[in-house]
Structure 1
Amino acid sequence: MHSVTLFALAAPLAALALPSGSLLTRQELQSINELFVAKGKEYFGTCSDQNLLSNQQNAAIIQTAFGAVTPENSMKWDQIQPTQGQFNWDGPDFLMDWAETNGKIVRGHTLVWHSQLAGWVNSVTDPAALTEVIQTHIAEVMGRYKGRIYHWDVVNEMWNEDGTMRDSVFSQVLGEDFVRIAFEAARAADPDAKLYINDYNLDTADSPKTQAMINNVNKWVEAGVPIDGIGTQAHLTGGMGSGVAGAVAALAGANVAEVAITELDIAGAAAEDYVAAVDACVQEPKCVGVSVWGVRDTDSWRADTSPLLFDDSYQPKDAYTQLIASLS
């Protein structure tokens, strides 16, 4: 893990070589990551990829304020192995090199997911063949970055809202055994990486989806499936922040070593929602980190809801200011 310097919690953005005339050059931005780590946590991160890391203003904010990066798209199956046996490493390599140059943790995202899946995978109907496809994909991707990626979202978004298993090529051909296959392949590929199962709408403790996650993870871990953590994405709407604490505590009650908030964004970005959501991780001993899903609203997948901590002009919003105050 990275060491924490408690006495250097602010850095003048003027020193980060931002473009002349940028509003940010006239402000001082504090590191939310350093304050969060000082609370005993491991990282406060965001997502990015080559196009945004090549944007000087965006990169400067991540350098100063955040401690981890998750590839937003470049490690998803349709990007990294669009054709069977042909891997595209350009985007992931760029992100890895940038992160290591700038001292950032990397969360790998994501290995087995029904969405943004290369079309050829959906045509695999034989269980033995699909097992090999999963194992090969994980071995190649995780193997390339072995020892360099801290967390991996191994299985992503496998639950329906009613707690049933989502229909996908993986569940159709292999049933729930695809989970065991994926996690065992991941453990073999990088024994030191923390292996996560990740999903959205795990935002209330008693929802069918949350309970399905907890009950099935307990079952799999008891059977020896190497699941280290549960990730709750936390794509929230306004007013939902107060419910995150109960949900995180419930997930932490599962038979896993740790949990994390992996893709936090909140429609409207109300300060009280962000403070409550982040505090949910601060207060839960098993919660190791928070990642917000982007830097500025313009670049968010939910741009029309203004869900992030920085506005379209890269200015920190009230939610960021209040998070700094809360963590301080």
Structure 2
Amino acid sequence: MKLSTIIPLLPLASATPTQQARPHPSLNKYPGLDILAKRAGLLYFGTAIDNVVLNNSAYISIAHNSSEFGQVTPSNGQKWMYIEPSRNNFSYSMADAIVKPAIRARQMRRCHTFVWHNQLPAWLEGGNWTKAELTGVLENHIRNEARYFGNGCYAWDVVNEAFEDDGSFRDSIWLRVLGKEYIELAFRFARKYVGRRVRLYYNDYGIERVNVKSKVVAAMVKDFIDRDIPIDGIGLQAHFTVGRAPTYDDVKAALNLFIPLGVETALTELDVRIQLPDSLEKQALQAQVYANSTKACMDVGDCVGVTVWDFWDPVSWVPETFPGYGNACLFDDGLKRKQAYYAVSDVLRDDGE
């Protein structure tokens, strides 16, 4: 997700009739999602937070409510273009604006991401690097960022989206200069500098079904383990669309691809976009996708948690990236809980009782 326009602190608008959250008969009986997730055996239920909305106090009061979200991911602030905007010049202010309040709120942090093909600074993307030079740049970046955040991250998304949908390696400066070994290098450097307690994840989209891509990722994990390359987890991003989303069985089967390999899994960027205009019927389908995805994680032994890719519709990445789609989150424009929120709450509560 790319950084977009700053959201001003404005009075919260009322939702349109088709966007109204479904009234729930026992709302007062519902604790936050993270409390329910822990009761159901997960480590956390979390959210991503972007810097564009940090001036909205109503939003922040929910984002850093640890009973609702026990884990936080900075959407953008830890990506290369913001951490190292010029060579060997490191800036942590964007990340700190999210990480430090999360620490005060006693929320776990998933840190995101050391290596990606996107959101790279011009000095890096446009450089004429030798293999040795770019290897040094990669190690230097991971060393500085890892040492700054120390052991404060539960997990790091070490490499993000290295494969195309057909299972081939995605074209990037990393692949062109370093070859496919860049993935292995990143994990070795990450382990060297973050310490033993932090989980090292590979993170990708489109692996929430058993398909060519998910099988290639599983093969990579097996190869890494066979060769003692450190890897601890697989993040299934879970960016879904109403009408085309994986079923409960699909997601569960994909998660189960990785369990025999001895790594943990997580749904790391869950959202469910709707083709606009919205309707109550589409919201009901969206709620079922959220519930199915959460339930699949709960029912797979080593799936540790679910993170939504922000929880408030106005700051979702979806409308900018997928024109004609939106309303992908758990809370509507007026920061009211949607049907999807209650569906997740129900499935977590039912399992925890």
Q: What TM-score do the two structures reach when normalised by structure 1?
A: 0.89
CA deviation profile, 1:45-95 (whole Å, cap 9, x unmatched): 011134424321111212331111101011110111111011111111221
Question: Number of residues paired by the alignment?
Answer: 308
Contact 1:124 1:130 in 2 (8 A): no
Residue number in structure 1 paired with 2:5: none
Post-superposition offset of 1:138: 0.4
Residue number in structure 1 paired with 2:182: 178
Residue number in structure 1 paired with 2:93: 90
Sort the Cα spacing of 1:54 and 1:256 in 2 relative to 1 into closer, same or farther, 3 A: farther
CA distance in 2, matches of 1:124, 1:282: 47
CA deviation profile, 1:135-168 (whole Å, cap 9, x unmatched): 0000100100101111100000000111011111
Q: Which amino acid aligns with 1:84?
A: R
Q: Which amino acid aligns with 2:76?
A: N
Post-superposition offset of 1:327: 1.3
Determine which of 257, 268, 273 is the counterpart of 1:267.
Answer: 273
Contact 1:230 1:256 in 2 (8 A): no
Post-superposition offset of 1:121: 1.7
Per the alignment, in what secondary structure is the counterpart of residue 146 of structure 1?
Answer: helix
CA distance in 2, matches of 1:314, 1:30: 17
Matched, 1:297 2:313: yes
Per the alignment, in what secondary structure is the counterpart of residue 152 of structure 2?
Answer: coil
Residue number in structure 1 paired with 2:102: 99
CA distance in 1, matches of 2:84, 2:73: 18
CA distance in 1, matches of 2:246, 2:64: 27
CA distance in 1, matches of 2:169, 2:52: 34
Contact 2:13 2:333 in 1 (8 A): no
Matches within 5 A, 1:32-111: 32-64=33-65, 65-111=68-114
CA distance in 2, matches of 1:86, 1:38: 43
Post-superposition offset of 1:124: 4.2
Q: Which amino acid aligns with 2:97?
A: F
CA distance in 2, matches of 1:236, 1:153: 20
Residue number in structure 1 paired with 2:137: 133
RMSD: 2.2
Aligned identity (percent) is: 34
Contact 1:35 1:324 in 2 (8 A): yes
Residue number in structure 1 paired with 2:297: 281
CA distance in 1, matches of 2:213, 2:246: 18
Residue number in structure 1 paired with 2:17: none
Post-superposition offset of 1:323: 1.4
CA distance in 2, matches of 1:22, 1:179: 45
Q: Which amino acid aligns with 1:258?
A: E
Post-superposition offset of 1:21: 8.8
Matched, 1:247 2:254: yes
CA distance in 2, matches of 1:21, 1:231: 33
Residue number in structure 2 paired with 1:214: 218
Matched, 1:201 2:206: yes
Matched, 1:144 2:148: yes
Q: What TM-score do the two structures reach when normalised by structure 2?
A: 0.83
